[in-house]
Amino acid sequence: MEVEREITVPSGPDEVWDSLTEAERLEEWFANEVELDPREGGRGVFRWADGDERAATVRELEPERRIVLDWDDGGYVSIELETVEDGTRVRVVETAPDFASALELHACAWAAVA
Amino acid sequence: MGRGRVDDVFAALGDPARRALVRAIAERGDATATELAAGLPVTRQAVAKQLALLGEAGLLRATRSGRETRYAVTPGPLHDAVAWMVEVGAEWDERLAKLRGTAARRSSRRPRA
């Protein structure tokens, strides 16, 4: 099970790459607090304002092309860049975490529904 | 569950506006088209149309309440999968919009080579 999203950003892949790999830049769009060691095998910790926290290991890193993070709670997120006429196409694929973790993560939001 | 049903569900959730509606209803427990339209730059009629489509796909359950129809998210076999897809899909929609915004701001400050 995976979610796939694509967007075109009006700047070059070098600029977008910085936004994907520098902690300070990641804090502008991905999470509220970021620690990331941007190299293969490097660790990342991401914290959000709602108290959620996820840690990951960098599985693949190809500058200005592709970064893949394996989440500690299962699943991965892959972000690929491609130069296009009006900027850089960013393609994200995120796979589901281990089923139990997914249930736990979303139990609060969905408790009212079940 | 037939293949057609699964396709309906994924087609219904293929649209960011509809995902946002499912998420908003899940957060509130239930809601009417009027309540949902109040926080959005769209008409009640537009919201009602999307809610009807989500209802036909089996994702929402409709209950008449006076002159209005209240919608709640249907628990079901696809519940957990749909919950995850809606939540994570909406998160990425928001994040990528922010990423584009920050990149655009940076580019406009910087003279083009």
Q: Is A112 on the interface with B (CB under 8 A)?
A: yes
Per CB-CB distance under 8 Å, the chain B contacts of A94 are 88, 92
Do A7 and B97 lie within an 8 Å CB cutoff?
yes
Residue A106 DSSP class = H
Residue B1, pLDDT > 80, answer no
Lowest mean pLDDT among A44-58, A97-111, B39-53: A97-111
CATH number of the domain located at residue range(s) B3-109 in this protein: 1.10.10.10
pTM for the full predicted model: 0.65
Residue B107, Cβ neighbours under 10 Å: how many? 16
- Residue A51 pLDDT > 70, yes or no? yes
Nearest residue to A65 (alpha-carbon basis) of A20, A33, A27, A10: A20
Q: What percent of chain A is modeled with pLDDT above 70?
A: 85
Backbone region of residue B70 per phi and psi (left: phi > 0; alpha: psi in -120 to 50; beta: other values): beta
For residue A103, what pLDDT band results from cuts at 50, 70 and 90?
Answer: very low
The verdict on a CB contact (< 8 Å) between A106 and B97 is no
Mean pLDDT of all residues in chain A? 87
For B92, the closest of A8, A92, A110 (CB atoms) is: A92
Helices and strands (H and E) in chain B: how many: 5, 3
Other CB atoms within 10 A of residue B52 CB:
15
* Chain B residues touching residue A7 (CB < 8 angstroms): 96-97, 99-100
End-to-end Cα spacing for chain B: 56
Domains of chain A: 2-110 (3.30.530.20)
pLDDT, position A32: 96
- What does DSSP assign to residue A48? -
Domain locations along chain B: 3-109
Closest chain B residue by Cα to residue A104: B80
B83 vs A: CB within 8 A: yes
